[in-house]
Amino acid sequence: MEKTEFFVCRCHDVSHQLVLETLETEENEEHVVYGCFHIVHLEFWEKLKCAMKYIFGRKCKDGDFDALLLRPEDSDRLECFANYLDDSISAPDKQTDPFHFTFSSTDNVYEVSFDTYQDKLKDGSILTDSELSVCVWMKPGNLFYRLYRAAKYLSGYCSRYGDFDSFEFVQNDAWKLHRMVSGLRAC
């Protein structure tokens, strides 16, 4: 099965995007889902603020490169990739509650979280909403590594792949995609 899907953020900003794809595999070959995440370039002053927080070991709210909010209508397309990885192995419980987890590329750390929040409306009622976000941070390390990465970040470096960062989900990661699907369906 060869499949490519393009996911755009809930805010409809096309710079917040994720592409997932599979390639045709041989009979006994491991299934892999390849991902590309667009790394958003922030204004210099925002970058400087993120770099300073990074050097001192603190995290920015929406990541060092801005967050992607997946939409509930993306759940079926995302589930196709989870099922593709499940194809030849038994997965853990697919119906478990969504939670907070991370995965990594070579240069960055991705954090997937399911957040519920409430807004009080003018009429006094309370609106409860939830969202599934994917935030990207530079990989942590010792102080010298963080200084080195912060300098690269301020000069425009995002990933070894340029404006996109690449990662893979292997068969053992199918549960992560299933959790993302259950989180989107809960939204």
Question: Tens digits of per-residue pLDDT, 18-66?
Answer: 999 998 877 778 889 999 998 888 889 998 999 999 999 888 888 888 8
Per-residue model confidence as pLDDT tens digits over 82-102: 988 886 444 444 444 456 888
| Structural domain count, the chain | 1
pTM for the predicted model, two decimal places: 0.78
Enumerate the H helices of 31-142 as residue ranges.
Answer: 44-55, 75-86
Q: Residue 60 has what pLDDT?
A: 83
Residue 63: per-residue pLDDT: 86
Q: Specify the residue for token string 């995609």.
A: 177
Q: Do 134 and 98 meet the contact criterion of CB atoms below 8 Å apart?
A: no
* Residue range of the domain that includes 8: 3-186
Position 118 scores a pLDDT of 65
Closest C-alpha to 145, from 27, 57, 65, 84: 57
Give residue 179's pLDDT band: very low, low, confident or very high (50, 70, 90).
confident
Q: How does pLDDT run across 97-149, given as a tens digit for each residue?
A: 456 888 899 889 999 888 776 666 667 666 556 788 888 989 998 999 999 99
